[in-house]
């Protein structure tokens, strides 16, 4: 598969994990919104063909991409600085996909190749769970600058994060770091910190795999409610999570990649 030249598109970062439901889409959304709020021009590409959730999380479900005079797709604007392309804009709502690998790859290829992103500082790509067709297609289609791997601290997730790290190493994509999501929760009654799924497991894995650890995101009911209602807003975000995302942006901003 020939690589697609993405002119005027700056840093391309894939958000991946070996496992489902670790918070990739939530993290991609938070990262994209936070970068955009800092004045960066951001594209968010959702290549989860089976469960594209980014439009829901940004409150832009059901919107349509435009087409320009050269028949190129125009992303949906979620914020003045944030353009979104999701496979969900290309599929009928509630359409279950029974497509096999090559068809999925074609849909992703179409989303990447036929979109007019304009000029971007960052392109964040939210991947489906696992290390399957979609992520492989992505690495074959685009020169990625790096990957951020999002995991939760349970043993099963830790195993799968390790697989994702190894996959990125195999395809020569720099692992920018690991993020531990759902690290802990604060009891709303007594304010005690509860390590629901274990403690520090992703940080430990980062050490073992010799990749950076980027930070911990707690379980946060408001974040889940905002995502479910359709529309994560930075204004309503737990300040701790806001700080973690901003620290991650600083951290990756200091890297040459
Ligand atoms: N830190 C958090 N606190 C509370 N809820 C969260 C947090 N992170 C994610 N969630 C919720 O967990 C669910 C799964 O998150 P999300 O969809 O981002 O995971 P995912 O890794 O993208 O899943 P998939 O593998 O299916 O693509 C969502 O309902 C989301 O709102
Ligand atoms: Mg997802």
Q: Could you report the per-residue pLDDT of 204-234, keeping only the tens digit for each?
A: 999 999 999 999 999 999 999 999 988 899 9
Q: Is 21 in the pocket of ligand 1 (CB under 6 A)?
A: yes
- C-alpha 152/C-alpha 26 separation (Å) is 13
Q: Is 59 in the pocket of ligand 1 (CB under 6 A)?
A: no
Band (pLDDT 50/70/90 cuts) for residue 126 is: very high
For the CA of 29, the nearest atom of ligand 1 = 18
- Do 116 and 68 touch, CB atoms closer than 8 A? yes
Q: Is 153 in the pocket of ligand 1 (CB under 6 A)?
A: no
The number of CA neighbours under 13 Å toward the Cβ of 241 is: 29
Q: Which of 215, 203, 200, 212 is nearest to 246 (CA)?
A: 215
Q: How many whole angstroms from 14 Cα to the centroid of ligand 2?
A: 12
Q: Is 48 in the pocket of ligand 1 (CB under 6 A)?
A: yes
Catalogue all structural domains in the chain, each as residue range(s) with its CATH number. Answer: 9-253 (3.40.50.300)
Q: Is 182 in the pocket of ligand 1 (CB under 6 A)?
A: yes
For the CA of 22, the nearest atom of ligand 1 = 21
Instruction: Note the pLDDT of residue 188.
Output: 85
- C-alpha 115/C-alpha 60 separation (Å) is 18
Q: Which of 16, 248, 13 is nearest to 132 (CA)?
A: 16
Instruction: Note the pLDDT of residue 98.
Output: 57
Which element (helix H / strand E) includes 134? helix 133-141
- C-alpha 106/C-alpha 127 separation (Å) is 15
- Overall residue count recorded for the chain in this entry: 257
Q: How many whole angstroms from 128 Cα to the centroid of ligand 2?
A: 6
Q: Is 57 in the pocket of ligand 1 (CB under 6 A)?
A: no
**Mean pLDDT of all residues in 166-177:** 95
- Do 212 and 178 touch, CB atoms closer than 8 A? yes
Between residues 20 and 148, the one the model is more confident about? 148
**Mean pLDDT of all residues in 47-61:** 90
Q: Which ligand is nearest to the CA of 20?
A: 1
Q: Is the pLDDT of residue 182 over 90?
A: yes
- The residue nearest atom 11 of ligand 1, judged by CA position, is 224
Q: Is 47 in the pocket of ligand 1 (CB under 6 A)?
A: no
- C-alpha 116/C-alpha 68 separation (Å) is 8
Best mutation site among 31, 227, 237 for ligand 1 pocket (most ligand atoms within 8 Å of CB)? 227
Instruction: Note the pLDDT of residue 99.
Output: 59
Q: Is 51 in the pocket of ligand 1 (CB under 6 A)?
A: yes
- Do 175 and 168 touch, CB atoms closer than 8 A? yes
Residues in CB range of 172: below 8 A, 6 or more apart: none
Q: Is the pLDDT of residue 93 over 70?
A: no
Q: Which of 77, 84, 81, 82 is nearest to 45 (CA)?
A: 84
Report the predicted TM-score, pTM, of the whole model to 2 decimal places. Answer: 0.95
> What three-state secondary structure class fits 124?
strand
Best mutation site among 17, 19, 25 for ligand 1 pocket (most ligand atoms within 8 Å of CB)? 25
Instruction: Note the pLDDT of residue 197.
Output: 86
Q: Which of 229, 47, 207 is nearest to 126 (CA)?
A: 47
Q: Is 183 in the pocket of ligand 1 (CB under 6 A)?
A: no
């Amino acid at each position: 598969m020939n690589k697609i030249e993405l002119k005027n598109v700056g840093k391309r970062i894939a958000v991946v994990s070996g496992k489902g439901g670790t918070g990739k889409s939530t993290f991609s959304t938070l990262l994209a919104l936070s970068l955009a709020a800092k004045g960066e021009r951001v594209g968010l590409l959702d290549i989860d063909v089976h469960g594209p959730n980014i439009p829901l999380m940004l409150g832009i479900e059901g919107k349509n991409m435009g087409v320009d005079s050269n028949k190129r797709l125009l992303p949906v604007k979620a914020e003045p600085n944030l353009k979104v392309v999701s496979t969900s804009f290309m599929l009928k709502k509630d359409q279950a996909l029974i497509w096999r690998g090559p068809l999925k790859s074609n849909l992703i290829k179409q989303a990447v190749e036929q979109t007019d992103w304009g000029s971007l500082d960052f392109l964040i790509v939210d991947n489906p769970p696992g290390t399957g067709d979609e992520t492989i297609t992505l690495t074959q289609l685009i020169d990625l600058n790096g990957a951020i791997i999002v995991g939760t601290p349970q043993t099963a997730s830790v195993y799968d994060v390790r697989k994702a790290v190894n996959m990125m190493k195999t395809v020569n994509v720099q692992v920018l770091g690991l993020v531990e999501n759902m690290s802990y929760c604060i009891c709303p009654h007594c304010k005690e910190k509860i390590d629901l799924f274990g403690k520090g497991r992703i940080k430990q894995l980062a050490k073992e795999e010799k990749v950076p650890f980027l930070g911990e995101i707690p379980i946060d009911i408001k974040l889940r409610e905002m995502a479910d209602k359709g529309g994560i807003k930075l204004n309503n975000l737990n300040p701790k999570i806001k700080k973690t995302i901003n620290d991650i942006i600083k951290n990756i901003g200091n890297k040459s990649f």
